[in-house]
Amino acid sequence: MRKPVIMLECRFPLFYCTGIDVLKARRDSVPDLGLHLACLALSLAVWSATVLTLRYTIKLLLSYKGWMYEARKGGISLKTKIWGMLLKTLVGGPPHRLYDFQGSLPRIPLPALDYTINKYLESMKPLLSEEEYRTRQELAQEFQSSALGRKCQWYLWLKSWWSTNYVTDWWEEYVYLRGRDPLLINSNYYGIDALALQSNRQASRAAYLLYATFQYRRSIDSQSLPPLLIQNMIPLCSRQYERMFNTTRIPGVETDRLDHFEQSNYVVVLCRGCYYVLEMYSHTRLLTPPEIEAQVEWILAQTPQPDPGEDKLAALTTAERKRWAVSRRKYFGQGLNRASLRTIEKAAFVVVLEDRSYELDPSNPAKFDEYVQSLFYGTGCDRWLDKSFNFIVGANGRVGLNVEHSWADAPVMAQFWEVILTHELCQNVYTPEGRINASITDKLPPTPKKLQWELSPEALEEVEACVQLASRSCKDIDLRLYVHQEYGKHFVKQCRVSPDAFIQMALQLAYYRDAGHFALTYEASMTRLFREGRTETVRTVTEESCAWVRAMDDPDKTDDEKRELLRDACRIHQDAYLASMCGYGIDRHLFCLYVVSKYLRQDSPFLDSIFKDKWRLSTSQTPHNQAYWMDARKYADHICGGGGFGPTGTGCVQVADDGYGVSYLVTGEHMVFFHVSSKHSSPKTDTTRFVEHIKRALRDLRNLFPETIAK
């Protein structure tokens, strides 16, 4: 019998095949698994190569910093224009997520050893006598040419390649976490409210800002908060946002640690000496502002007696760190105390509801001073200093912050504070009476729960001892807030100098008149253009700044000569500031060399001499309008007035007890805030006197530019 013939139709002429041939054709048409895997592998390889190429291209472009110098000089080169177009093409587009650029940020560069030592000697020349400078120069040259110097630099070069940032981990560990001094005065800093008060009802203002704060936390967790971009295309590192909430600094005998909890749906509220747990969620839903308002009102309406020692319990966090670590282990290791302490430590943050009202009245400076002093240290036993931050609400609705420093630097908190205050301004939040402009539409969650404590007599004695120590420290701080309203950024820009350099020169002139000599001056700059960057030091005192300061009180110098000297000093200062931002500051490099030498157990007389020098003027500018969401000129009264710190600074390696801490904020066009601190115990310093010198210096600077005043 003949086999059946099947005719197949295809693009080619008809052909005949047997049934066996058809089966073979069907078998051959089945996709090959190996081919599929090969295609998948090729696709993954192409995708990975594309992503890596894009990432490293952006990283290469972000390593270029010439645009910063050219922008300051007012002339943009063709090279920079091409660079800008390429970067904007790769970075531009829809809003980015918070951590989108983390993998593309460049590593911070390691300066050459010769560069750092030469810059260091240059910075010390105006501060040392000829003999002292010659001795320091010999020590520097000896270290520079020694095997130890080369070995330390070699180890740092290796670390700069295998670590994300060769500075940050050591800086956090040795400057912050291994510091044994109390956080009170020495480390924590504060932030103040805007001048304009949105509501004078304590519960209402606390409720909305708590709601806005948790919305902000949600934007961090979901990464929907856009990263900060300079000129809308150059990203800053976002790593520091990770530990803003649910974070506590745990004391240790030798070193502290930062405990960060993935999620915390409550805050701990301190009110009239009692601690309450305020749940911010009902199941998975964030409470609305009127619901939070009702919960806060419930807390304010309570009149319980604090457990013995509860009202002063936070004084333990103001103690020297080793002492607090021992007390924590001894008295809070089990039972109610352990559970209540862990509840505080796991909270998103701490809220303090004050019985006192705060005023921000420019016509009454004493009210300013009372306000900032309360935010900074309170009574010495009503701020839980270990928490990432304390949210403080006065009886009249005036708010502020007390912030622990080790987890992040001030610009991160400044942006958060700016965002929630801006949201409050832009939304129709309050009724004319100051209440939340909304009603409760759902069943309220259970009322807040009071924490319980069982402190032994020995523990109560320790608490009382810490209260006494904290009280002495608080009384020793001479802190003032001065608001300069004669002129601001608008005037300074017309003088054709940098506003920051202008203020720094004013501080140099004020200090020279106050102390009669120049002193090592610390100004903080950021290094967040690099991955995991934090801060660098700008050394303000230069030969040019000293020449200008001396000229200001020299009757033989004309105004033209003084103006020229000022512009030279400001130019040199700006060059140093830009170098620090670009990774070519010297102090973090010197610090890391010192750490390596200690790891190697080899002493260096040169490095030892550096870290014996005391910073007697610690300064910092508070950034504002970082998100560009509000017109700073139109709403100057609605911008936070900055914040301040103690005379020992917040990131200096060696500071002096006879120095000043100065934080300043140039806000709007016609206002500058100065937060100035010193110690009463020092016979060489006086904050009131120094503030008067700042006022006089600013007036003398203004008088150098009569043609600008006329405008």
Q: What amino acid positions are annotated as catalytic residues?
A: 405
Q: What is the DSSP string of 86-134?
A: HHHHHH-SSPPPTTTTGGGSPPPP---HHHHHHHHHHHHGGGS-HHHHH
Q: What is the DSSP string of 547-582?
A: HHHHHHT-TTS-HHHHHHHHHHHHHHHHHHHHHHHT
Half-sphere exposure of 608 (CA within 13 A, CB side): 7
For 165-294, strand residue ranges (E) read 189-192, 229-230, 234-235, 247-250, 257-260, 266-271, 274-279, 281-282, 285-286
Q: Using CA atoms, how far apart are residues 676 and 193, in angstroms rounded to an integer? A: 17
* Residue that the structure tokens 């333990």 belong to: 316
How many CB atoms neighbour CB 344 within 10 A?
A: 20
User: What residues are paired with 270 via a beta bridge?
Assistant: 275, 352
Q: Using CA atoms, how far apart are residues 698 and 666, in angstroms rounded to an integer? A: 13
Amino acid identity, position 360: L
Q: Using CA atoms, how far apart are residues 377 and 382, in angstroms rounded to an integer? A: 8
Q: Using CA atoms, how far apart are residues 216 and 539, in angstroms rounded to an integer? A: 35
How many CB atoms neighbour CB 21 within 10 A?
A: 13
**Which one, of 571, 517, 561, 610, lies nearest residue 126 by Cα?**
517
* Residue that the structure tokens 């929630």 belong to: 420
For residue 16 the two structure tokens come to 């005949």
Maximal CA-CA distance, the chain:
129
Q: Using CA atoms, how far apart are residues 34 and 356, in angstroms rounded to an integer? A: 76
